[in-house]
A = this chain, B = another copy of it.
Amino acid sequence: MSLLTVGSVAFDALETPFGKTDKIIGGAATYITLSASYFTSENNLVAVVGDDFPQSMIDILKDHGVNTEGLEIRQGEKTFFWSGKYHHDMNTRDTVEVQLNVMGSFDPVIPDAYQNCEFLMLGNTAPSIQKQVIERLTNRPKLIMLDTMNFWMDSAWDDLLEVLKLVDVVTINDEEARQLSGESALVKAAAKIGAMGPKTVIIKKGEHGALLFHGDHVFFAPALPLEEVFDPTGAGDTFAGGFIGYLASTGDVSFNNMKRGIIYGSAMASFCVEKFGAERLFNLSKQEINDRVMQFVSLSAFELQ
């Protein structure tokens, strides 16, 4: 089934203990669509960039089967830019610089060809924009998933609560889940967030894995213990893209299938962190992905006699 992803396509400049980049391609929607492209061929993007955005990168998206009809290229303006520096433990980072540029006036236009998409992924942007996307769709998708972050809890609380009422799945990291719910235990946090709207709550714990909550059901997937984590940028978006891409490819939104989605998403995220930016997502083979998924099976499978 078809997937629509709305979110940022951007330039990032990154510094980790392993090195430093100049402007490279980043943005939530870049990671999401690239990751999802390994699962679904109906992969539609709505985003905005400036005229400084390289055609070569748009071609990479196209080569991955991403429909870029909804990628607005605004003449005379610049692409969203973020730069960040990771601390030694790679779990925390400081934002060095943000230039909103075109994202400051992002007005997501949904091409006619994208209407009737069955799966909608709202990458991390202003909650008011996320809500606008839902309102601009003629028919409600089968599943709407939303990613957000603490910045919007601090700056757009009411808007965030509004859009949360409209979605099926929310992905959020553990600290943000605690902030949003006011609960420190993640089981309680997930229950409170679920009561805000999304029936399914995914709490991302980075190197400590991810929890999937749906009603009384809970599932946990570990992160793969890796020898090297080169750059965590985009891991959460890559995870979300693998998850919803897998759901879209199967058309199955049952809890059991979401568990598989979490495993595929975790496998994709484990690739993402192996190189700077989105580079590792450019040329993966089906075999590599399947081998990685089998590592997750081996990591967490046990039999009681």
A222 touches which of B209, B260, B297, B304 (Cβ 8 Å): B209
User: By the criterion CB–CB under 8 Å, are A208 and B208 in contact?
Assistant: yes
User: By the criterion CB–CB under 8 Å, are A185 and B260 in contact?
Assistant: no
A205 to chain B, nearest CB (A): 7
Q: Indicate whether A228 reaches chain B with its CB closer than 8 angstroms.
A: yes
Q: Indicate whether A153 reaches chain B with its CB closer than 8 angstroms.
A: no
Q: Indicate whether A89 reaches chain B with its CB closer than 8 angstroms.
A: yes
Query: Which residues of chain B are within 8 angstroms of A259 by Cβ–Cβ distance?
Result: 302
Within 8 A of B (CB), among A122-144: none
Q: Indicate whether A86 reaches chain B with its CB closer than 8 angstroms.
A: no
A177 to chain B, nearest CB (A): 11
User: By the criterion CB–CB under 8 Å, are A227 and B303 in contact?
Assistant: no
Hey, what's the 0/1 contact readout for A290-301 against B, CB within 8 Å counting as 1? 000100011110
Query: Which residues of chain B are within 8 angstroms of A299 by Cβ–Cβ distance?
Result: 218-220
Task: State the copy count for this chain.
Answer: 2
Question: A89-B184, A225-B220, A227-B188 known; A300 and B297 CB under 8 Å?
Answer: no
Query: Which residues of chain B are within 8 angstroms of A225 by Cβ–Cβ distance?
Result: 185-187, 211, 218, 220
A217 to chain B, nearest CB (A): 8
A299 to B263, CA, bound (A): 13
A46 to B126, CA, bound (A): 62
A293 touches which of B185, B298, B304 (Cβ 8 Å): B304
Q: Indicate whether A256 reaches chain B with its CB closer than 8 angstroms.
A: yes
Query: Which residues of chain B are within 8 angstroms of A229 by Cβ–Cβ distance?
Result: 185
A278 to B209, CA, bound (A): 29
A228 to B183, CA, bound (A): 11
Query: Which residues of chain B are within 8 angstroms of A304 by Cβ–Cβ distance?
Result: 260, 263, 293, 297
User: By the criterion CB–CB under 8 Å, are A302 and B185 in contact?
Assistant: no
A205 to B221, CA, bound (A): 15
A195 to chain B, nearest CB (A): 15
22 contacts between A and B (CB under 8 A): A185-B227, A185-B228, A185-B229, A186-B225, A205-B208, A208-B208, A209-B222, A211-B225, A218-B299, A219-B302, A221-B300, A221-B302, A222-B222, A259-B302, A260-B303, A260-B304, A260-B305, A262-B302, A263-B302, A263-B304, A300-B300, A300-B302
Residues of chain A touching chain B, judged by Cβ–Cβ distance below 8 Å, are 88-89, 184-188, 205, 208-209, 211, 218-222, 225-229, 256, 259-260, 262-263, 293, 297-300, 302-305
Apart from A262-B302, A300-B302, 12 more pairs, CB < 8 Å: A185-B225, A185-B226, A185-B229, A188-B227, A209-B209, A218-B298, A221-B302, A256-B302, A260-B305, A263-B302, A263-B304, A293-B304
